[in-house]
Amino acid sequence: MMLVFTALLALTALVAGGEVGHNQILEFPAVSNANYVSFKPGFSDLAGLTVCAWLQKSYPDDRRYWLSYAVPGNDNEIIVGEGLAGRYIFDLRRSQFGTVEVGAPVNEWVHLCTAWDSESGVATISVNGEVKATKENYQKGEKIRGGGYLVIGQEQDSQGGNFDANQAFVGKIYNLNIWDYGLNSTQIAYLYGSGFCGYGSTEVEPIISWADILKEDKAGDTAVVKGTCIDLKDPSVGKILRFPPQSQASTASFLQYTPDFGADELAAFSICTWFFKTYADQARYFFSYAESGMTNSIIIGEQATLGFWVSGYKLLTDIVLDQQRWYHLCFTWGSEGVSAIYVDGVKVKEGTMAVGRTKKAGGVVVIGQKQDSVGGGYDANQAFAGSLYNLNMFNIKLSDEEVAKLYGEGTFCEMVPDEMWEAGHVVISYSDLFAQPTQGDAVFESGEEAWRHGAPHCSGEDLDEDAHKEDCWKTEEETRYEVRI
């Protein structure tokens, strides 16, 4: 029968390099019978089966199959794919069933699982964690024969070959695993809920893992490409970008970067960061983006109060941020003009500015200075003094819910959610900035150096837990600057 586990499922942390195959995607780039992965898995007869994978198809038509298993005398021992458009099918020993039309969008990731148990005769097809089709008395008492060929990307019409290009899968596959028993609906929902970039594990390991598949030869133009998942062993994690305090602020300290927006222009953006100030001046800015003909394309900072500027238009709050305290800040804008400012996950100002404008690619981002010419024209009286952490820029106007999720209830350790990476919404990541050289006395710091400047004193193994402790937020550098009237 299908195994039931309640407390036995555990989420494996997403650690770069900790799982072979993480962020490695199989790409089948074109309609062809030459693109596939084929091997003999060597398992014995099976009385149960589950196949799960993330799929992104790049074809508009139907009747394409991404997994087939053939044995002597039966080239249709197992087939998984798409029958009519938007209808997923599971064919076991020449007996097929499928879903109603549930949608199979082009160029979007979908999580698909097929499961079968011989003893009960129950089989299911699940899409994005939900059971969409159930078949009872399905091949009850039968077994899947061992000794066959498993092919990824093609449907076999003879054992190990005789492929038809019109049935070939075209697109990308990620994290394909095969178990020798039928996972239940709770387990399948858990695997989906673990996310594209996560690793959901089961008590019983798969008999064929994604790492096993990636080790096999790739035929034709089949290739392994890098995905969009964040690397949590990225050296930027836990590193504070620190700028000298007000008494030492100068035009020499900054970080400069020319981002790749992935498009000619942006019709929306959001910029979020953790922020810590060591100044009391009226006007200091920590982010600026200048493009040809528009040096004030984007400016973020304080001009008496917290605000930001887009194409020369401004949105100001009535908030003056305190010194020696960490805040989470988000600034959002769309070309329809609706803009917002968030402090610690809460919207504090909304308004309309820069209607119909866009942000053209090819400009220069400077962290720590306001640009009065592209890549320069700095003023020491406007130079940022303080620290930043986990600054990211997105190519969408974040919703209230998305901003709150980034704030993460103040843990400081919250990472950008997987779905934002998967959708390609991160156009400047903190790791991108960390990879750039800092100038002057700007520096990425961790440990005691960062803590003296007010970084959270998270020294334990569980950063999320430690970040809620009072001692975690202890500031050791106590210099406060007098507010100038």
Please give the full DSSP string across 233-287, using - where no structure is assigned: T-TTTT-EEE---GGG--TT-EEEE----SSSEESEEEEEEEEEE----SEEEEE
pLDDT for 399: 96
Provide the 8-state DSSP code for 482. Answer: P
What does the buried/exposed string (b/e) look like for 102-135 if buried means 16 or more CB atoms within 10 Å of the residue's CB? bebeeeebbbbbbbbbbeeebbbbbbebebbbeb
Q: Alpha carbon of 74 to those of 82, 95, 138, 221: distances in Å?
A: 20, 12, 18, 28
Residues 280, 271: Cα–Cα separation, whole Å: 23
pLDDT for 15: 23
Cβ-based burial of 141 (10 A; exposed 0-12, middle 13-18, buried ≥19): exposed
The residue among 345, 351, 320 whose CA lies nearest residue 330 is 345
Q: Tokens 């020491």 — which residue?
A: 380
- The answer to whether 420 touches 430, Cβ cutoff 8 Å, is no
pLDDT for 14: 25
The residue among 279, 273, 285 whose CA lies nearest residue 369 is 285
Q: Encoding tokens for residue 193?
A: 């809920």
Residues 130, 114: Cα–Cα separation, whole Å: 11
Q: Encoding tokens for residue 4?
A: 């039931």
- The answer to whether 193 touches 115, Cβ cutoff 8 Å, is no
Q: Tens digit of pLDDT per residue, the chain (485 long)?
A: 333 222 222 222 222 233 578 889 999 999 999 999 999 999 999 999 999 999 999 988 888 999 999 999 898 899 999 988 889 999 999 889 988 888 788 888 899 999 999 999 999 999 999 999 999 999 999 999 999 999 999 999 999 899 999 999 999 999 999 999 999 999 998 888 777 776 677 888 999 999 999 999 999 999 999 887 755 566 777 788 999 989 899 999 999 999 989 899 999 999 999 999 989 888 999 999 999 999 999 999 999 999 999 999 999 999 999 988 889 999 999 999 999 999 999 999 999 999 999 999 999 999 999 999 999 999 999 999 999 999 999 999 999 999 998 987 666 666 788 788 878 899 999 989 998 999 999 999 875 556 555 555 554 555 445 544 555 545 545 555 565 54
Q: Encoding tokens for residue 3?
A: 């195994």
Provide the 8-state DSSP code for 205. Answer: P
- The answer to whether 232 touches 13, Cβ cutoff 8 Å, is yes
pLDDT for 13: 26
Q: How many residues does the chain have?
A: 485
CB atoms within 10 A of CB 399: 12
CB atoms within 10 A of CB 264: 9
The residue among 88, 222, 100 whose CA lies nearest residue 152 is 222
Q: Tokens 């520096």 — which residue?
A: 443
Residues 6 or more apart from 193 whose CB is under 8 A from it? 129, 200
Phi, psi of 300 (to 5 degrees): -135, 135
pLDDT for 485: 42
Q: Alpha carbon of 216 to those of 25, 40, 60: distances in Å?
A: 14, 10, 29
pLDDT for 415: 73
Q: Is 165 helix (H, G, I), strand (E, B) or coil?
A: helix
Q: What share of the chain is helix, strand, coil (3-state, %, to 5)?
A: 10, 40, 50
- The answer to whether 117 touches 2, Cβ cutoff 8 Å, is yes
Q: Where are the beta strands (DSSP E) in 86-222?
A: 88-92, 95-98, 110-117, 122-127, 130-135, 149-152, 171-179, 199-201, 218-219
- The answer to whether 467 touches 389, Cβ cutoff 8 Å, is no
Q: Encoding tokens for residue 65?
A: 């199959």
Residues 81, 68: Cα–Cα separation, whole Å: 9
